[in-house]
Structures are given as C-alpha cells and as structure tokens.
Amino acid sequence: MGFPERTAFFKGNGYMKKLYSNKLTTFLFLLPALILFIGILVAPIFMSGYYSLFDWKGYGPKTFIGLDNYKELFTSENIGFMKAFGNACLLAVLSVLLQLPLALFLALLLGSGRKGERGFLSIYFMPVLISTVVIGQLWLKIYNPSYGVLNVALRALGLDNLTRLWLGDEKTALWAAFVPTLWQYVGYHMLLLYAGIKSVPPEYREAAMIDGANESQVNRFIVLPYIKPILRISTIFAVTGSFKSFDLIYVLTNGGPNHSTEVPSTLMISMLFLRNRYGMGSAIAFVLILLCFAAALIINFIFKEREGKPKCKTETE
Amino acid sequence: MQDGNRVKSPFNGKKFTKETLVYLLLAFWALINLFPVYWMFTFSLKSNNEIFGENVIGLPKEWLWSNYSKALQVGNIGRYFLNSVIIAVVTIALVMAVALMATFALTRFMWKGRKMMNDFFMLGLTIPIHASIVPIYVTLSKLHMLSTYSSLIIPYAAFSLAMAILICTGFMQEIPIELDEAACIDGCGTWRIFFKIIVPLMKPAVATVSIYTFLQCWNELMFANIFVSDKAHKTLPVGVQALSGQYLTEWGPVGAAMVLATFPMLVFYIFFSKKIQDSFIAGAVKG
Amino acid sequence: MGNVKYDGKYYGVPMTMNIVGMFCNMELLAKAGYNEVPATYDELIDCCDKLVAQGIIPFGCSGKETWCVTEYLESIIEKTAGATALNQIFAGTASWNNPDVAKAVGIFQEMIEKKYFDPEGIALTNDEVKANFMAGKYAFYMNGTWNCADFDKAGLTSKVKVAEFPVIDSSKSQLGELIGGPSDTLAVAAGSKNAKVAAESAFELAKGICHYGYLDGCGLPAWTPDYDTSSVNALTQSVADICANASQYVLFGDTAMAADTAQIYLDYVSKIYSSTISGQEFVDGLTKDIK
C-alpha cells in the first residue's frame, strides 16, 4: 500500500490544510506512541548496551569492565554461549530446511483448490493459538520416559530398544526439544503462504493450464515466483524466531541436561536470575538484537539479489 | 477461488490414486495437529491409573471432573484466568488508543519526517522482546512496580504497538479524505474529526488489532514469568507452568488446567477462524 | 551460626536446620537380606549388589534438579575426604585440586556404572523421584531431612529408616560428619532503624518458627528445644539422634557459595551425574573456573 503523498488531497480546502499542518496537534497525537515506544523499546536497547559494559550483580555497585563481558561470552567454555548460539543456528537451519518446505508443501496442496481446504487450514493453524506453555507441558508428557505416549507406543509395537529418555539424554534432548518448536509454527507459515497463493490471479493459473501445464508446473512457474515476497517474510520470521526462541525450550528442558539444549535466551535468563550476572545477561541480549537485525538484513539482501521485479502486490521494501 | 473442484490434475486416469494420496497426507498432518489436543482433553478427565497404563489414549472410563476442581482450587487457575483477561483487555485498549492517535498523525497530517517516523515505528516489528528485559526489570524494581498488572500491560502494549500502527495505517488510508473535508466544512476541529469520523470507521482495524494483541499477551511467558511473582497477579501461562511443577506426579489436574487455559480460545477460534487468521495475515504480509 | 556471620557481625537468625539423610526402604532391604541399615561402606556396596541382582534399583536421584545430585556427591566426598577438607574447599580457603575429591567422584560414578542408580532419574524431577521412592521403586533415597514430614504423613514411618551415609575412608572421615546445618534464616539489615529491636523480634520469631517446624517434622530445631518433643515423628527423632552425635557440619555447597560460583559448581556436578567428565576433570575444571 505504500505511503502516498498527502498534499494532493488538500487542494482547494485552505482551512483543512491549516488544520492538518498544525505542528502542536501533530505532536500531541504522536506523543503517547512516542513515549511508549521510546521508553520501552528504544531506550532499553541502549541501556542493555550500557549495562553490558559492566560487571554488575543487579544490586550494589557497577564496575566498568569495557568489552570484557563480550570477550568472556565468546571465549569462555563455562558460559557456553557458542554452544547456545550453535544450537540456535541449527534450529534456524532446520526451520528453513524442514519447517518452511513442509509449510509450503501444505499451502500448495491446499491453495490449489481442494475440497475441505478451509477445514484443513483451520486445523493446521490451531497449534499457533495454543499457549506455548500448554504445548510444552503436553510434549513433556508425550516424552515422559515411563508414561509418555511416545515410549508407551514404542513398547506396544515391541520396539523397546528404541525407547529413550528423550529430553533427559544429552544425545536426543536437542532434537526432542526442536520437534515441538518446529511443529508448532508450521501452521503459521502455511497460513501466510496460503494467503499468498490465494492472491495469485486465477487467470494466470488458467492460462497456464490451457497451455498444458500440470499442477506442479503451475506451482513452480506461476505460484512460487508470485509469492516470493511472502517467502522472504516467512524466512525472516523463521530465522529470527529461531534466534529468539525461548518459551518451548524453557518449558521442555530449560537448557539442560548439561546445557545441551541451551539457546541464547535461556542462557540469558540463567545468567540474570541464577548467576546474578546482569552485565553478562545484557551482553547476551545485545548480541541477540544484533543477530536478529543482521539476519533480517541478510535475508532481505539474498531475496533482493534473486528477485527480478516484485510480482506480488504486497509491499516489498 | 471458491469452488474446490475447479483445479484438478489433468491426468485423469491417475486422478483417483493421486488425489487419495494427497488427502491421506492432509489427514495425517491434521491428525498430528489434533492428537495432542485430544489427548490433553482426555487425560484431564482421567485418574493416574488410566493415564499411566490402563487406558493411555482412549476416552476416560470414569470421567473425573474432580481434576477440574483441583485445578481451580489448588492451582488457582480461575484467578490466573481473570488476571490474563484483565491484562489482555487493558493492553488492547491502551494499544488501540495510542495506535489510532499515532496513525492519525502519520496518515492525515502534513509534516516533514512523516515517512521517517513511520519507518521508525516499523523498526519495532524486528526488535526482540528480550532486548529490553534487563532494563525494564531494573526500572520496574526501582519503581516498586514488579508484580503489578501495569508491569505487564505497559511492555505488552509497547511491543504490540508497531503491528497495531501498521494495521491501522492500512485501514485509515482507505477512509476517503472527502469525509474529513465535509467535516471541516461543518466546522469540526482535528479532535472532533478524529473522534467523530475516523475512530468509528476504524472498527475492522480494531477487531484485527485486538485479536493480534490478545494472542500476544495471552500466551506470553518470559515477561510474565519474571516481572510477576505474587499469586494475585500471575497470568495463565505462568499458573499452568507452576501447577505442573506442583502436580508432577498427578497429571489429571495439570491437564484440566491446560484445558481451561486453551478451550475458551479454541471455541472462539471455531466461530471466528477466518477473522483470526486474517489478523495474522494482515500483520505479516504487510510487514 | 557461622554462615550467617558477615564481617564479624550476625546478620541473620537461623530458623531450621536440615541435614542430608539416607532414607532406606526396609522392606526392600530385607529382600537383599538386610534387616538393618548397612552400617559400613562395604556392607552398603554388598547390599546394593544384592538388590541389583534381584532387579531392585538401589538409589533414585533426580538429574533434572542438580541440587539433588549434590546430596549424594557431597556426602560421598565428605566421607572420603573429610568434613574439614570439604569445608575449606567450599569456603575457598583450599583448592578443589584434591585427590580425595577426584577419588570420591570416581566412587560415585562407579556406583552409577554398576546400575545402582535409576537410569531414568536423569530425566526426572525431584518430586517424581521422591514419589517413586515412596511408591517403593527404590531402596534408598538421599535427600534433605525435611522429607521426614511427608514420609510420615504417607504412613511410611514403619518401613522407612533414616541413617547417615557410611564412612568410606576412615583415615580421613568418621561418622558424625554431616552435610547440612542451619539453613533458612531471617535476616535483619544492620543499618535499619531499631536494628536491635528488629533483631530481637526476628530472634523470637525464628525460635517460634523453628519450634513449630520441628513439631511438624519440617526440619530440626536450630535451637536446643525447651518444649515437649514427644509428638515429633519417629523419623525426625532419629534424625535428631544422628545430629546429637554430630561432630562437624558442611553446609550444602550451592548454599555456601555465591550465586555465580554455585552455578558453575552445579554445572560440573551435573556433568558428573551424566558421566560426561571424570573425577579428575571435575577437580581440574573447578580449580580452573572457580576463583
């Protein structure tokens, strides 16, 4: 929809032009939003950056230590940030390679006009609406070594040797924690992509069909290029969402066993509230913000490189 | 594309088998999405004996409604439910008011830096909630505001603001400027135009923003967990989490609490699924 | 009261004290031919071997809550290296680099390897492990003596006994060296107005809480009781008997250390339980990371 120049509207009505040029009124209308926005979103970023330069327990005196927190963050093994960051990257990669293709596949199946598509769509989107705590608690119970559905089912099938401690074993915990994370948001990405697919003008599709294209050819040559802007947004959400992921990991493992499922945000929370290292916690927060911005920029760049001209009506700035 | 039959594979001979396969796939994925909810509902009504062996996935043999009274009495879930509602409703009201005003200034007024200001607000879409946790926590504790409703309402409102402005901008730009002109001729000032003309016409935007904001606050865990520690102000997700810690070895009441936290939302979703989905699409696709 | 002292002044009043006790399910022990709690380390090992042979899991320990692992590990270290040595290490006056600590960790890991511990424990929380013990799944459960009240309430007093962990190296340690001590305290800010009045009322309050906590079985009195104790449950009373013979206490390691250090310590303990590091690596790592 862009941002049209308003001046054109004010032709011939001097009084209204005067009304809508009043600086004070403009400012008053913006003021509440500015206070909220600067106070809660913008200022804290700078404060996090500032705190990250100190050794601080959250109470008592702050000691200025320059970039030492960052040095320790990237080198110290007992902090384990690189491991947590690696886990987040793995989650991001899995999101892009598994979650998005699955979402796209489902969206294409539904978007090409099948009976019951709305019903399926609504079911697939449902997990997005359920609180992550509930999802996490459910999966905790699914994974429970003694009574969980997963092990019970394996035992019932006579596959006793495949039963695992799932979330308790360092070898399986990371994968077990990622499964619900990836699963919950398939429906979200699918919905976005489905909306994009539905906005493909039917004539394009029909023209291609008349030329003898089959469903997969239509998808490949008509639909995919058309929904590229949405794919870009989905990718940004999937990657930044992976870097930020907290809720499910917190509920399922809280970073354990032995930090094998630690992600940056669980690490940040344990730095802050278990180890009383506010400076270090702030450093992690600050690195996370930079990571998210960087990821968004890089993904935008990659998609721009490959994009000829935007074919979708949604905004592509 | 309303009718489901129009686009079909041209390979008519293979059509039956291929379409069957597609539907099997779709049904399988639907099952994966429905099963956890079904399981949650059934074990919320079962005793440990049933959950732990006798009857793992069937319907409860004996419907144990006492799990629900335990969740409500011991788990205090009713109170947390109310807290979540209060916080969500106030947040929505605050976000709506602030976003409508800001959008009015951004779309109607003529001033330099309008576009820059809009971009500035849109930055909010990418700022992760974690960024502000330490400063907000420290500030709230200095102001002795931890464990109050406002300690969650204000941050939630701030973090929903960017999306609200984005959605409102789309809707407000579609309100014809001629309406403002007519009001002007009648002698209205800016504030009257805003309240009499613009706000009443923004109802669809209010619905979209409300749904979006509601889901954000309803499910949020990190802030709710850290900023609120007293029982009187805890929200539903934190309450469910706490109850699971308390009833580790008895799953029924935990299941009951989870159902209580989830089902009102799902019932609402059944009736308004299109509207809810649209609010997510509006948020993402325009960003 | 040493651990509530700071700069030579008392800043807190201890309310309750708890020690780590080894709770024993006597019905299960009887199946291994033990009608009494194994009194020596060799007997304990023999008992465990017999239990394992019968398909009974000797110990349950939560790996999800690392403090539960310390209940075992610290007891074993204490009974190998001695309470004095462990106290010095926790206080930071002696190095972690102590061969006895490495040896004790080795002993603990050998017990894990010999299947003395429930392998599922690593994925369970303490409440789940405790419930398993109460349901008769484990023969032993080592944890704080605050559990006495729950065991008593569940009617387990007749079949559960509590004892201290046997001595492993008698040249360095002896019975009566316990893990625990006064823990929950009421603190008074020294700078507060009427600090003296506040301190005195906190003192009375603490004695009161301690009094009722003892009678309810939630802990032992940190103060010599001057009231009738016959209503105290049998388990708590036998804990009191153990404490009466105590020669030295070592405070729970994670309570004794500062928050940051405690987490580093707990991280290493957790790696011990999952056997990802050896005793020597434990000692080396802590020596390097705790300053």
DSSP assignments along B110-172, one per residue: --TTHHHHHHHHHGGGTS-GGGGHHHHHHHHHHTT-TTSSHHHHHHHHHHHHHHHHHHHHHHH
Interface of A with B in 29-48 (CB under 8 A): 29-30, 32-34, 36-37, 39-41, 43-45, 47-48
Structure token pair of residue C8:
């030579």
With CB atoms and an 8 Å threshold, state whether A19 touches B189: yes
Q: How far is the alpha carbon of C259 from chain A, nearest alpha carbon, in Å?
A: 5
pLDDT in tens, A99-148: 999 999 999 999 888 888 899 999 999 999 999 999 999 998 899 888 88
Evaluate if residue C6 carries a pLDDT over 50.
no
Which of these, C24, C4, C5, lies nearest to C141 by C-alpha position? C24
Do the bridges between strand C12-14 and strand C16-25 make them parallel or antiparallel, or are there none, so unpaired? unpaired
Cα nearest neighbour of B244 on chain A: A137
Kindly state whether B158 is in contact with chain A, defined as any CB-CB distance less than 8 angstroms.
Answer: yes
Residue type, A120: F
Evaluate if residue A282 carries a pLDDT over 90.
yes
Contacts of B221 in chain A (CB under 8 A): 131-133, 246-247, 250-251
CA B100 centroid distance within chain? 19
Q: Is residue A176 part of a domain?
A: yes
What is the Rg, in whole angstroms, of the alpha carbon atoms belonging to chain A? Answer: 25
For C117, which DSSP code? Answer: B
Measured between CB atoms, which of B22, B215, B221 is closest to A109?
A: B22
Interface of B with A in 229-258 (CB under 8 A): 236-238, 240-241, 244, 251, 254, 258
Q: Which domain holds residue A230?
A: 52-306
- In angstroms, rounded to a whole number, what is the distance separating the alpha carbons of residues C187 and C202? 8
Q: Check: CB of residue B163 under 8 Å from CB of residue B209.
A: yes
Q: What angle do CA C153, C156, C157 make, to 5 degrees?
A: 90
> What's the confidence (pLDDT) of residue C58?
94
- In angstroms, rounded to a whole number, what is the distance separating the alpha carbons of residues C5 and B96? 54
Phi, psi angles (nearest 5°) of residue A43: -55, -45
Q: Check: CB of residue A206 under 8 Å from CB of residue A200.
A: no
> What's the confidence (pLDDT) of residue C185?
56
Q: Check: CB of residue C7 under 8 Å from CB of residue C62.
A: no
Q: Number of residue pairs across B and C with CB atoms under 8 Å?
A: 9
Evaluate if residue A311 carries a pLDDT over 60.
no
With CB atoms and an 8 Å threshold, state whether A124 touches B104: no
> Average pLDDT in the A268-293 region?
91
With CB atoms and an 8 Å threshold, state whether A147 touches B7: no
With CB atoms and an 8 Å threshold, state whether B262 touches A134: yes
Cα nearest neighbour of B247 on chain C: C127
Chains meeting C at 3+ CB pairs closer than 8 A? A, B
Confidence of residue B188 (pLDDT cuts 50, 70, 90): confident
Interface of B with A in 167-186 (CB under 8 A): 169-170, 173, 177, 180-181, 184-185
Q: Is residue A315 part of a domain?
A: no
Measured between CB atoms, which of A131, A141, A251 is closest to B251?
A: A141
Mean pLDDT of chain A: 87
Chains meeting A at 3+ CB pairs closer than 8 A? B, C
Which of these, C163, C222, C220, C193, lies nearest to C22 by C-alpha position? C163
| Distant-in-sequence, close-in-space partners of B91: CB < 8 Å, separation ≥ 6 | B152, B153, B156, B157, B160, B213, B217
Structure token pair of residue A259:
């930090």
> What's the confidence (pLDDT) of residue C101?
92
Write the CATH number of the domain with boundaries C2-281: 3.40.190.10
Which of these, C235, C248, C240, lies nearest to C222 by C-alpha position? C240
Which of these, B265, B266, B261, lies nearest to B79 by C-alpha position? B261
With CB atoms and an 8 Å threshold, state whether A40 touches B132: yes
Kindly state whether B155 is in contact with chain A, defined as any CB-CB distance less than 8 angstroms.
Answer: yes
Phi, psi angles (nearest 5°) of residue C243: -65, -30
Chains meeting B at 3+ CB pairs closer than 8 A? A, C
With CB atoms and an 8 Å threshold, state whether A258 touches C276: yes
- Domain borders along chain C are 2-281
Residue B218, classified by CB atoms within 10 Å of its CB into exposed (0-12), middle (13-18) or buried (19+), is buried
Cis peptide before C99 (omega within 30 of 0): no
Residues of C with CB under 8 A from a CB of A: 63-64, 119-120, 122-124, 258-260, 263-264, 267, 270-271, 274, 276, 285, 289
> What's the confidence (pLDDT) of residue B66?
87
DSSP H or E run through B105:
helix B77-108
- In angstroms, rounded to a whole number, what is the distance separating the alpha carbons of residues B62 and C82? 56
Measured between CB atoms, which of A20, A272, A315 is closest to B286?
A: A315
Residue type, A298: I
Kindly state whether B116 is in contact with chain A, defined as any CB-CB distance less than 8 angstroms.
Answer: no
Evaluate if residue C201 carries a pLDDT over 70.
no
Q: Is residue A135 part of a domain?
A: yes
Q: Is residue A43 part of a domain?
A: no
H-helix segments, C92-233:
99-113, 126-134, 148-153, 195-216
Phi, psi angles (nearest 5°) of residue A80: 70, 30
What is the Rg, in whole angstroms, of the alpha carbon atoms belonging to chain B? Answer: 24
Measured between CB atoms, which of A23, A26, A265 is closest to B130?
A: A265
Mutate to test the interface with B, among C64, C65, C125 (most CBs of B within 10 A): C125
- In angstroms, rounded to a whole number, what is the distance separating the alpha carbons of residues B155 and A273? 20
> Within 13 Å, how many C-alpha atoms sit on residue C101's CB side?
24
Interface of B with A in 64-83 (CB under 8 A): none
> What's the confidence (pLDDT) of residue C111?
93
With CB atoms and an 8 Å threshold, state whether C123 touches A256: no
- In angstroms, rounded to a whole number, what is the distance separating the alpha carbons of residues A151 and A196? 40
Positive or negative: CA dihedral C254, C260, C265, C267: positive
Q: Check: CB of residue C148 under 8 Å from CB of residue C235.
A: yes
In order of their start, the domains of chain B are: 12-67 (no CATH), 75-286 (1.10.3720.10)
Do the bridges between strand C57-59 and strand C138-144 make them parallel or antiparallel, or are there none, so unpaired? parallel
Structure token pair of residue A150:
């997963």
Coil, strand or helix at A309: coil
Measured between CB atoms, which of A16, A36, A234 is closest to B180?
A: A16
Confidence of residue C242 (pLDDT cuts 50, 70, 90): confident
Kindly state whether C120 is in contact with chain B, defined as any CB-CB distance less than 8 angstroms.
Answer: no
Q: What angle do CA A296, A301, A307 make, to 5 degrees?
A: 125
Do the bridges between strand A54-55 and strand A63-64 make them parallel or antiparallel, or are there none, so unpaired? antiparallel
pLDDT above 90 covers a percentage of chain A that reads: 49
pLDDT in tens, C142-180: 998 888 888 888 888 888 999 999 999 888 888 889 888
Q: How far is the alpha carbon of C227 from chain A, nearest alpha carbon, in Å?
A: 39
> What's the confidence (pLDDT) of residue C47?
94
> What's the confidence (pLDDT) of residue A2?
45
Q: How far is the alpha carbon of A171 from chain B, nearest alpha carbon, in Å?
A: 24
Give chain A's domain count.
1
Contacts of C62 in chain B (CB under 8 A): none
Contacts of A167 in chain C (CB under 8 A): 123
Interface of A with C in 223-282 (CB under 8 A): 256-259, 270, 274-277
Do the bridges between strand C185-187 and strand C12-14 make them parallel or antiparallel, or are there none, so unpaired? antiparallel
Confidence of residue A250 (pLDDT cuts 50, 70, 90): very high
pLDDT in tens, C211-223: 555 555 555 665 5
**Across the strands, what pairs with C5?**
C10
Evaluate if residue A215 carries a pLDDT over 90.
no
> What's the confidence (pLDDT) of residue B278?
86
- In angstroms, rounded to a whole number, what is the distance separating the alpha carbons of residues A278 and A282? 6
Kindly state whether A78 is in contact with chain C, defined as any CB-CB distance less than 8 angstroms.
Answer: yes
> Within 13 Å, how many C-alpha atoms sit on residue B186's CB side?
12
pLDDT in tens, B85-119: 999 999 999 999 999 999 999 998 888 888 899 98
ipTM given for this complex? 0.85
Structure token pair of residue A183:
């699963």
- In angstroms, rounded to a whole number, what is the distance separating the alpha carbons of residues A13 and A309? 39
Kindly state whether A17 is in contact with chain C, defined as any CB-CB distance less than 8 angstroms.
Answer: no
Confidence of residue C189 (pLDDT cuts 50, 70, 90): very low
- In angstroms, rounded to a whole number, what is the distance separating the alpha carbons of residues C148 and C237? 10
Cα nearest neighbour of A275 on chain C: C260
